[in-house]
Structure 1
Amino acid sequence: MSYEPKLAAALSGATMAQLSHWRHASGAGGAVLVPEISAIRPILYSFRDVVALRTCVRLRQETSLQRIRRAVDSLRDDLGEREHLSAYQLVTDGGTVYLADPDHAVDLIGRKGGKSNLVIHQLVDVLAPFYRNGRHIPDLLSPRPDVAVDPSVRGGEPVIRGTRVPAAEVAALIRDGIPPEQIADFFPGVSAGAALEATDFTDYVDSYAGTPTGAGAGTSRGAA
Structure 2
Amino acid sequence: MAYKTRMAAALSGASIRQLAYWRRPAGPILVPEVSARPVRYSFRDVVALRTTVYLRQEQISLQRIRRALETLAELGEFGHLSQYRLVAQGNSVVLVDAEETVDLVGRPGQRVTTVLMAAVLRSFPTDATVVPDLLRPRQNLLIDPEIRGGHPVVSGTRVPFDLIAGLVRSGVPAAEIADYYPAVNAPAAHDAADFAGYLDRFNRRRPA
Q: TM-score by structure 1 length?
A: 0.86
Match for 2:68: what amino acid? A
Residue deviations 1:52-106 (CA, integer Å, cap 9, x gap): 1111011112211011112112212x12212111000112224222212365222
CA distance in 1, matches of 2:124, 2:60: 17
CA distance in 2, matches of 1:6, 1:197: 19
Task: From 72, 96, 116, give the equivalent of 1:100.
Answer: 96
CA distance in 2, matches of 1:101, 1:129: 22
The reply on whether 1:189 has 2:186 as its aligned counterpart is: no
Mapping 1:54-203, distance limit 5 Å = 54-61=50-57, 62-76=59-73, 78-101=74-97, 104-109=100-105, 110-116=107-113, 120-133=114-127, 135-203=129-197
Tell me if structure 2 keeps the 8 A contact 1:102–1:123: no
CA shift at 1:209, angstroms? 1.2
Match for 1:69: what amino acid? R
SS at match of 1:70: helix
SS at match of 1:207: helix
CA distance in 2, matches of 1:114, 1:73: 17
Distance 1:134 1:5, change over 3 A: closer
CA distance in 1, matches of 2:71, 2:25: 14
CA distance in 2, matches of 1:56, 1:206: 22
Q: Which stretch has the larger CA shift, 190-199 or 129-138?
A: 129-138
Q: Sequence identity of aligned pairs in percent?
A: 49
Task: From 47, 66, 82, give the equivalent of 2:43.
Answer: 47
CA distance in 2, matches of 1:43, 1:89: 25
SS at match of 1:208: helix
Unaligned runs of 5+ in 2: none
CA distance in 2, matches of 1:165, 1:159: 5
Residue deviations 1:144-202 (CA, integer Å, cap 9, x gap): 11111011110110000000000011101111112212212222211122111100001
CA distance in 2, matches of 1:209, 1:91: 30
CA shift at 1:137, angstroms? 1.3
Match for 2:137: what amino acid? P
CA distance in 2, matches of 1:112, 1:189: 51
SS at match of 1:36: coil
CA distance in 1, matches of 2:55, 2:109: 19
SS at match of 2:202: coil
CA shift at 1:134, angstroms? 5.8
Unaligned runs of 5+ in 1: 214-222
The Cα RMSD (Å) is 1.6
SS at match of 2:178: helix
